[in-house]
Amino acid sequence: MIAYLIVRARVVEMKYTNSSILSLALFLGIALPVSGQDTPSASPPASSSPSVTERPPFATVDGVIIPADHFIKSVQEGMRQKFYHGKIPDDQMAKFQREMGTSLVDRILMVREAKKQGLQPDQSEIQHRIAEFERRYASSPRYQANREAMLGPIVEEMADRSLVTQLKERITKVKEPSEGELRAFYKANPDKFTEPEDLAVSLILLKVEPNAGADAWNNAKKEADQLVGKLKDGADFAEMARIHSGDPSAAKGGKMDYLHSGMLAEDAEKAIASIQPGQFTDAVMVLEGYAIFRLDKRAPPHQLTFEAARERAKKLFTRDAADTQWKQFRKKLWDKASVQINESYYLPLPEPGKEPVGTPHPHAMGGGKAK
């Protein structure tokens, strides 16, 4: 889960480079909303560039300001964490912006609630992780020169993360479900306790090396067709597999482990689906060469009995109950709080089947398709 700095109403100027603080954050397992393009310093911004204080706030939460800069950098860092090369598809940007905005508000509400409930950060864990970093960078002049400025926000973030973790553990504790609750859950969710179709299949594989040319593939196809002819004439499938197959299953007469839908290539699955137990397919081209499959057994999908599914039902019931309790808790926090979000920083949500359009706030950098 991506973690973000809790934003404060104050803006603190710190004399360290982004690369230094980011390396520390990555070492500690923290993803910070730090822009790869900006380098904070004690110097004032150039007059041609709007400063953080000139941008309208992204949000306020019971009077606590979330500066636009924190939201923008959260989106940028989130993109780098979640998407390949940090590039997000246009049709996902609007939703992703809202997820990031919600996470910032969530963190303020949850940290405040954790403190209200008397929870304390796990200082021993925090100190342990900081000590690891101290040992790792003890010989770094840059670290020694900027130690306090670098560690301050990291320690604060780790403390907040600790509080949120403890709060979630407390809120999501679920009492032991009763027999009646488990049976009702089992009955209401048959799909969760249904085993997929099982296939017992035997295989003869005429293997072709990946770098082989067309002649090798043509020869394999010819040999496979000849074997199909022999099988139709009554040859023993297991014996043919032992002699001709290049698959490890050859030693067992071609018998493979039980298979489920989706475990074989699409063409192979289609061929097997068209035959009955005891029958075999024609030669099928697969990635490794040409294959002949025999269907030995087809066990249809079946629902487990309650007794067989008891442990699974208990785990799923507990998981779902914990998720429900957490969602309800979050909703209560939001309902009680006064949250104002400046939605001009969001792109409009695209209508189903339409390209995303719209222009975000002029300072809401971080991607998105604008027209």
Residues 161 and 119 reside in one and the same domain: yes
| Cα Rg of the chain, angstroms | 30
Claim to verify: residue 139 and residue 183 sit in the same structural domain: no
Q: Are residues 24 and 106 in the same domain?
A: yes
**Total tally of structural domains belonging to the chain:** 3
CATH number at residue 243: 3.10.50.40
Co-location of 76 and 34 in the same domain: yes
pTM of the model: 0.64
Residues 133 and 219 in one domain: no
| Cβ 57 vs Cβ 67: under 8 Å | yes
> Domain limits at 309?
179-192+305-321
Q: How far apart are CA 315 and CA 115, in angstroms?
A: 30
pLDDT of 198-235, one tens digit each? Answer: 889 999 999 999 888 999 999 999 999 999 999 999 99
Residues 18 and 188: their CA atoms lie apart, in Å, by 52
pLDDT digits (tens, 9 = 90+) for 9-66: 222 223 233 334 444 444 444 444 333 333 233 233 333 344 444 789 999 999 999 9
Same-domain check for residues 225 and 313? no
Contact 364, 344 (CB under 8 A): yes
Is residue 215 assigned to a domain? yes
Interior angle at CA 11, CA 6 and CA 17, nearest 5: 85
pLDDT tens, position by position, 65-102:
999 999 999 999 899 888 877 788 888 999 999 999 99
Q: How far is CA 20 from the centre of its chain?
A: 27
Residues 203 and 279 placed together within one structural domain of the fold = yes
Q: State whether 296 and 311 are in the same domain.
A: no
- Whether residues 98 and 211 fall in one domain: no
**Angstrom distance (rounded) from CA 106 to CA 61:** 10
**Domain shared by 256 and 315, yes or no:** no
Same domain, 183 and 97: no
Establish if 139 belongs to a structural domain: yes
Cα–Cα distance for residue pair 201/198, rounded to 1 Å: 10
Residue 35 lies in a domain: yes
**Token representation of residue 238:** 């297991």
Structure tokens at 60: 């306020």
